[in-house]
Amino acid sequence: MTDNYFDSETYNRINFSESKIQKGEYDNCTFTECNFSEVHASNIQFVECEFIDCNFSNAIVKDTAFKNVTFQNCKMVGVKFYEVDTFLLKMKFDNCQLSFSSFRELKIHNTHFKNCQLEETEFASTDLTGTIFANCNLKNAIFERTNLEKVDFRTATHLRMNPDENRLKGARFSKENALGLLNKYKIIIE
């Protein structure tokens, strides 16, 4: 069976949980207000695509390729990003709800998270070198054995992690969120 190829297509308000998304490669396509919630989007390639106001909550993305893809105002709760195809993986998130998702063991250098909710999101053993968390809520986000070199946390909130378990060389913190690095010591700062 030949995979389908879709170039510069626009998809508006399609509920892919009712009408299945076709397998294949989507190149330079725009998806607006589409529902991918709990959809099996496995083995699909998205290249230079944009997703706006879409719902990806609990979508199955095993072996799905996201190559230079932008997500804006998307709900992506509980997505197992660690199952995606990692070849040329590059994503950008703007104003997205990513709580309870997992990026564990991925190599996602220079990823931009802007105005995102990342509560209880897992970054265990993830290589986030050069990533920016601009105005992101990191409440109970999991950073364990994570490469955070040159990561910008200056405007992130609710940041807590054990600095002894992560690589932090060159990471940038504000005075306020740097207190989250001391949490493991159970000290009181007034």
- The residue type of 73 is N
Residue 59 shares a structural domain with residue 90: yes
Residue 1 shares a structural domain with residue 85: yes
Residue 48 shares a structural domain with residue 115: no
- Is the predicted pLDDT of residue 135 greater than 70, yes or no? yes
Residue 36 shares a structural domain with residue 120: no
Residue 89 shares a structural domain with residue 116: no
Per-residue confidence (pLDDT) for residue 175, from 0 to 100:
85
Task: Give the chain's mean pLDDT.
Answer: 94
| Position 75 in a domain | yes
| Position 188 in a domain | no
Using a 10 angstrom Cβ sphere, with 0-12 exposed, 13-18 middle and 19 or more buried, the burial of residue 8 is exposed
Indicate the residue among 94, 129, 162 that finishes a domain: 94
Number of domains in the chain: 2
Residue 135 sits in a domain whose CATH number is 2.160.20.80
- 53-101 per-position pLDDT tens digit: 999 999 999 999 999 999 999 999 999 999 999 999 999 999 999 999 9
Q: Within 10 A of 107 (CB to CB), how many other CB atoms are there?
A: 12
User: Tokens standing for 54?
Assistant: 């879409």
Band (pLDDT 50/70/90 cuts) for residue 1 is very low
Q: Within 10 A of 113 (CB to CB), how many other CB atoms are there?
A: 26
Per-residue confidence (pLDDT) for residue 189, from 0 to 100:
66
Domain of residue 36 covers 1-94
Helices and strands per DSSP (H, E), number in the chain? 1, 10
Residue 62 shares a structural domain with residue 126: no
The mean pLDDT of 92-115, rounded to a whole number, is: 98
Residue 155 shares a structural domain with residue 174: yes
Residues 122-143 as b or e (16 or more Cβ within 10 Å = b): bbbebbbbbbbbeebbbeebbb
| Position 189 in a domain | no
Rounded distance between C-alpha atoms, residue 136 and residue 102, angstroms? 16
Entry pTM: 0.93
How many residues appear in the chain? 190
| Position 190 in a domain | no
